[in-house]
Copies of this chain bind each other. A is one copy, B any other.
Amino acid sequence: MQRVLSTELATHPYEKIRVEGWVHRIRRLKSVSFLIVRDAAGLAQVVVTDPALIRAGEESVVAVEAVVTPNAQAPGGVELTEPVIHVLAEADPPPFELHRPTLAASLPTQLDHAALALRHPSRRAALRISAAATAGFRRTLEEQRFVEIHTPKIVESATESGASVFELDYFGRPAYLAQSPQFYKQMMVGVLERVFEVGPVFRAENSDTARHLTQYTSLDAEMGFIAGHRDVMVTLTATIAGMFAEVQDRCGYEVPAVPSEIPAVHFTEALRIAGAPDDEPDLAPAHERALGDWAWREHRSELVYVTGYPMRKRPFYTHPDPADPAYANGFDLLFRGLEIVTGGQRLHRHADCVAALRAAGEPLEPYRGYLEAFRYGMPPHGGWAIGLERLVARLIGAANVREVTAFPRDPHRVAP
Contacts and interface: CB of A to CB of B under 8 A. Distances in A.
A416 B89 contact: no
Interface in A45-91: 59-61, 88-91
Give the interface SS of chain A, mostly helix, strand, loop or mixed. Answer: mixed
B175 A170 contact: no
Interface stretch (A146-154, A236-244, A255-263): A146-154
A387 interface: no
Given A188-B118, A191-B127, A217-B150, A155 B414 contact: yes
Given A124-B191, A377-B22, A416-B369, A200 B153 contact: yes
Contact of A168 (B168, B350, B411): B168
Contact of A184 (B138, B350, B407): B407
A85 B301 CA distance: 43
A61 B379 contact: yes
Interface string A375-412: 11111100000001000000000000000011101010
A191 B90 CA distance: 16
A114 interface: yes
A202 B202 CA distance: 15
A377 B62 CA distance: 9
Contacts of A378: 61, 89
A184 B113 contact: no
A373 interface: yes
A156 B119 contact: no
A3 interface: yes
A20 B147 CA distance: 18
Contacts of A124: 191-192
B380 A88 contact: yes
A134 interface: yes
A252 B192 CA distance: 17
A206 interface: yes
Nearest to A60: B377
A206 B166 contact: no
B379 A88 contact: yes
Nearest to A149: B406
Q: How large is the interface on A (under 10, 10 to 19, 20 to 34, 35 or more residues)?
A: 35 or more
Contacts of A116: 372-373, 376
A118 B191 CA distance: 6
B89 A349 contact: yes
Nearest to A118: B191
A379 B166 contact: no
A187 interface: yes
Given A168-B177, A171-B206, 19 more contacts: A39-B193, A59-B376, A61-B378, A89-B374, A91-B375, A116-B373, A119-B191, A124-B192, A127-B191, A127-B192, A128-B192, A151-B407, A152-B407, A154-B166, A157-B415, A167-B169, A175-B414, A368-B415, A370-B416
29 contacts: A40-B193, A40-B194, A61-B377, A88-B348, A89-B348, A89-B374, A91-B377, A113-B372, A114-B187, A114-B369, A115-B376, A119-B190, A131-B148, A131-B149, A134-B148, A135-B138, A150-B405, A151-B406, A152-B409, A153-B200, A153-B202, A154-B202, A154-B214, A155-B414, A167-B168, A167-B169, A188-B406, A199-B200, A200-B200
